[in-house]
Structure 1
Amino acid sequence: IVAFLVGKKLPNRDVLQILQRKWGQVGRFSIHVAGNGVFLARFENRQARDWVLDNGPWDVWGYHLAVRPWSRDMSLSLGECKSMPLWVKLKGVPIQFWNKVGLSYIASVLGKPLHMDVTTMNRHALMFARVCIDISATSSFPESVTLELEDGSTNSIEVEYPWRPTACALCKVFDHSNRSCPKVTRREWMPRPVLMAQRKPEDDMGCATEQQGSPYGVNCLIVLICFVMNHGWS
């Protein structure tokens, strides 16, 4: 499987030790660093591999660790990660939809349904359904889903994301946010020049005249107050 660490770059040695402690309880495996924040794990048996996938995503020191099966055409770069498995809570699900088919139907509006947790599968608590969904980086992460029932009525299902990764709408990846996107043109703030009225020698009264050559291509007229001398207006 391939694991992507999202949110912060941690020391590889610490990540490997934590995964050995968490995953080693179900079987032996080897893990290798495939890139910056990307790890490749190889298990000795399929049961251990499936257990790690079914119980993911994981966390390392509170940071999201997305896991997915490896494939030949799969990119091992976090910068090309265009979708990510996330746990989602669905609240207000009608009881007739509380099964694998019904929950998959609802979850498919948000992305590709992967699996449910044990509590949801066994229907131990019906306050909310917890489903792992592979969500695209272009998703708007809606807060609700409208479900149309057989009688024509509709039911609004609340969607809650316990953890939501930053995504770039321009690059359509989870590697960085819109604000830190390298493709965005940066604008540097330039202070606006202050135009000062200049007194000309021939202006006996000290009245400013129209200033030419504004950097904005227009004539800026600065009006100064003319002091009235004791002799009045001339």
Structure 2
Amino acid sequence: QDVNEDLAEAGLADGTAAQSTASAARKVDSGRRKGRGGGRKGGKRPLPADAPDFVKRAERRAQWRHPLVRATLASVALVLAGLLVLQGAFHFKDLLAARWPQTQPALEAMCRVAGCEIGPLLQNDALTVESYKVSKPATAASPGGSDVYRLTLVLHNKADYPVAAPHVELTLKDAGDVALSRRALALSEFGYKAPTLPSNGYVELQLLFASSSPVDGYDVGIFYP
């Protein structure tokens, strides 16, 4: 009987010890889980200053790959692209309206906000003077005793879209090729009222003018004032 009691006490002691050990292990494991959870809840701890370089590089790459960072960068890129498009449309508004007339309503809406205006496209390199001539018609002299001359010229717009009507510079010369006078003439003085020259078009112009000195030479050019 004493032996049985000793065995029972030993078994009870072993069971109690096992329970104590298991309880302690559960507490340790629970503490570890709490510690890990607390770390996540409190945010990611910064790397120590003496961390290896490859660890720091990996950390930086991970930050740039974060979905929130990528979404922010994409939004900024879209905004910058939109601003660039608006700047280009503002700078080339006359060209866009001339080449693609269907864009004019949108450009006009932009100009109402920006306070700009859409005008005829100034493109001097699209224009050429195909021919010009100064002649003296069979008419009487002007009342002031000056001679009357006729300027005839043909302008060509080589572009496949309308461009602004230029001004004509007429230089009159004497027999020694010395300039007597220079005149800047708007096309309206020739009777041409349109603000533009038609695409791929030719325009013939004539103008009568008076000169107090005999005209033996002349030059004609075009420009935008």
TM-score normalised to the size of structure 1? 0.24
The structure with more radius of gyration: 2
Task: Looking at secondary structure, tell me which structure has more helix per residue.
Answer: 2
TM-score normalised to the size of structure 2? 0.24
